[in-house]
Copies of this chain bind each other. A is one copy, B any other.
Amino acid sequence: MSPSPDAVAPPPVIVLVRPQLGENIGKAARAMLNFGLTRMRLVAPRDGWPNPAAGPAAAGADGVLADAEVFPTLAEAVADCSAVYATTVRKRGVTKPVVGPDEAARAIHALPAQSALVFGPERSGLETDDVALADAILTVPINPEFGSLNLAQAVILCAYEWSRHHGHGRSSLVQPTVEDILPPASQAELDGLIAQIEGLLEPAGYFRHTGRAVTSRRTLRAMLTKPGWNHLEVRTMRGVLSALGKGPRQG
């Protein structure tokens, strides 16, 4: 018998990018723990960490705060994650799949690897460069005439959906494909691939139009994130790039 998907699908990590108020970090921790999520990661919290305002707002979810990990960049915070969801209410000119909390929860439970749910700063939301790191955009379908979801509310809806689907996959339902398909490579592996391709393109003058260089790099990253290549595929692509980098053989 194959194990059920949940036996190998770890709960998602909740990543707060540049959170502003300690109080909101505490509220997010409380929202998480209400639905059984415990792993919080903080990217460059504005007021440093730990933050004395977080504890009281966590209303008892102190363990989540005590175990929170801090990273300087989002790339480092999701380096070990195979599926990264960027939550945003704003439309982006980025060609990535857009899912709701329901669909994201199903996918997270079906993936036998680490997933991350990424939330932006309270006021401004995620930057385009943050979204570029993600595999998909998670948008809560909201009243178009009144979109006013705060950080803790966005977290609690995602946590609630995760918990709502938790265990549905444990029944006798057979999902044979999950076992056979390798998960997407980790963010770190993907970063290695992107660094290699950029290292080859730089001397070739690909980024020489400096005005477009930032956009070009972002486009490349988005394109290479889109396939969800597994680690074998990433390795193959790196072999291709090595061959291309050497150029035609002599003789």
Chain B residues whose CB sits within 8 angstroms of the CB of A140 once the complex forms: 160
Interchain CB contact (< 8 A) of A174 among B34, B144, B223: B144
- Complex: how many Å from CA A200 to CA B245? 10
Hey, what's the 0/1 contact readout for A137-151 against B, CB within 8 Å counting as 1?
Answer: 001111110111100
- Complex: how many Å from CA A195 to CA B100? 38
A73 adjacent to chain B (CB < 8 Å)? no
- Complex: how many Å from CA A108 to CA B209? 40
Interchain CB contact under 8 A, B30 and A197: no
Stretch of A46-54, A115-123, A227-235 on the interface side: A227-235
The answer to whether residues A204 and B36 also contact, given A176-B139, A177-B98, A226-B228 and a CB cut-off of 8 A, is no
A60 adjacent to chain B (CB < 8 Å)? yes
Q: For the complex formed by this chain, how many copies does it contain in all?
A: 2
A8 adjacent to chain B (CB < 8 Å)? no
A213 adjacent to chain B (CB < 8 Å)? no
A157 adjacent to chain B (CB < 8 Å)? yes
Chain B residues whose CB sits within 8 angstroms of the CB of A147 once the complex forms: 34, 174
Stretch of A14-22, A79-87, A124-132, A178-186 on the interface side: A178-186
| Number of interface residues, chain A, beta carbon within 8 A | 71
Chain B residues whose CB sits within 8 angstroms of the CB of A233 once the complex forms: 95, 219, 223, 226
Interchain CB contact under 8 A, A243 and B201: yes
- Complex: how many Å from CA A69 to CA B196? 45
Chain B residues whose CB sits within 8 angstroms of the CB of A65 once the complex forms: none
Interchain CB contact (< 8 A) of A148 among B34, B149, B160, B244: B34
The answer to whether residues A142 and B35 also contact, given A156-B153, A201-B243, A245-B244 and a CB cut-off of 8 A, is yes
Besides A153-B156, A157-B160, 13 new A-B residue pairs in contact (Cβ under 8 A), listed by A number? A33-B143, A34-B147, A35-B142, A35-B143, A91-B176, A98-B177, A98-B178, A141-B164, A144-B174, A152-B153, A201-B240, A204-B246, A205-B249
